[in-house]
Amino acid sequence: MIKVILCDDHAVVRRGIRDTISEAVDIQVIGEAGSYPELREQMRKNPCDVLVLDLNMPGRGGLEVLAALKEEGSTVKTLVVSMYPEDQYAIRCLRAGARGYLNKAGEPAELVAAIRTVQQGRKYVTAEVAQMLVDTLNKPEDEELHASLSERELQTLQKIATGKKLSEIAEELMLSPKTVSVYRARVLEKLHLANNAELTVYAIRNGIV
């Protein structure tokens, strides 16, 4: 039996994933979490084989969770299931230690197949992600400046590009406005840009929003 813990800050989404998984006789959901602290508690009480992890969570985000698990030498196999398109986060997640990446809009059967694949110690990627991995082999390392952004910096860039104010971004990410301002400054520096207008143009040209 494959033991799974679900980590997503939306209870409705967790229920949908649980219902999908329940149709598989060889997979059992043994715990749920809506944040990183809850996840740590669940993993302490209920060791699992596979962690199904969302990226966009309050406090510590999915990429930060992956980094924490990797740093502590965790053996849990992580499958990222996110609303974000593959071209924005898939390769970033795989490099951070995830065993697979799946969009929430995918077919239910694909989720079951992905869990089984990562539990076996193999990587699970969609055809789109596989093509991106091939494409990256032919790209200069410095072609996409935003590849150097952290998860929070990328989220800040995305939200600025959609017209949100720093105070709104801070509220959504559960951070202080000062912290978001620091992220904005780092993004401007890394992308060699001067203001929000240039950030928006960059985001649109590179398919970030």
Residues 86-128: tens digit of each pLDDT: 777 788 888 888 999 998 888 888 999 999 999 999 999 887 8
CATH number at residue 186: 1.10.10.10
Closest among 193, 98, 13 to 208, alpha carbons compared: 193
Contact 161, 175 (CB under 8 A): no
CATH number at residue 21: 3.40.50.2300
Question: Where is pLDDT greater, at 96 or 132?
Answer: 96
Shared domain for 79 and 170, answered yes or no, is no
Euclidean distance between CA atoms 136 and 126, whole angstroms: 16
Lowest mean pLDDT among 17-21, 22-26, 135-139, 191-195: 135-139
What range does the domain containing 157 cover? 145-205
Q: What tokens does 97 get? A: 């230690």
Shared domain for 168 and 100, answered yes or no, is no
CA 42 to chain centre: 19
Shared domain for 75 and 92, answered yes or no, is yes
Closest among 12, 9, 4 to 79, alpha carbons compared: 4
pLDDT of residue 54: 92
Average pLDDT, the chain: 87
What is the mean pLDDT of the segment spanning 152-179?
90
Shared domain for 116 and 195, answered yes or no, is no
Shared domain for 35 and 72, answered yes or no, is yes
Contact 114, 124 (CB under 8 A): yes
